[in-house]
Amino acid sequence: MTYPRIALVFMPVLLMWAAATLPAQQSSKRPKISAEIVDFLKPNQQPAKGDSELVKKLKERYNAAALLFKERIKEYEKGTRDISPVYEAARLAVDAKLDLDETAKARIDTLKQTLEVARLFEKHLQKQFGLGFASKADLERARYSRLSVEVELLKAKQ
Cα dihedral: 37, 66, 58, 49 (round 10): -90
Task: With a cut of 80, say whether residue 150 has pLDDT above it.
Answer: yes
Query: Cα 42 to the chain's mean position, in Å?
Result: 13
pLDDT for res 56: 96
Task: With a cut of 70, say whether residue 143 has pLDDT above it.
Answer: yes
Residues 79-96: tens digit of each pLDDT: 888 888 998 999 999 999
- State the pLDDT confidence band at 34, using cuts at 50, 70 and 90: confident
Instruction: Measure Cα distances from 23 to 10, 17, 33 in Å.
Output: 21, 11, 19
Task: With a cut of 90, say whether residue 97 has pLDDT above it.
Answer: yes
pLDDT for res 79: 86
The count of other CB atoms within 10 Å of the CB of residue 135 is: 14
- Which residue would you say has higher pLDDT here, 54 or 39? 54
- What's the chain's average pLDDT? 84
- Which residue would you say has higher pLDDT here, 35 or 106? 106
Four-residue CA torsion sign, 113, 154, 86, 67: positive
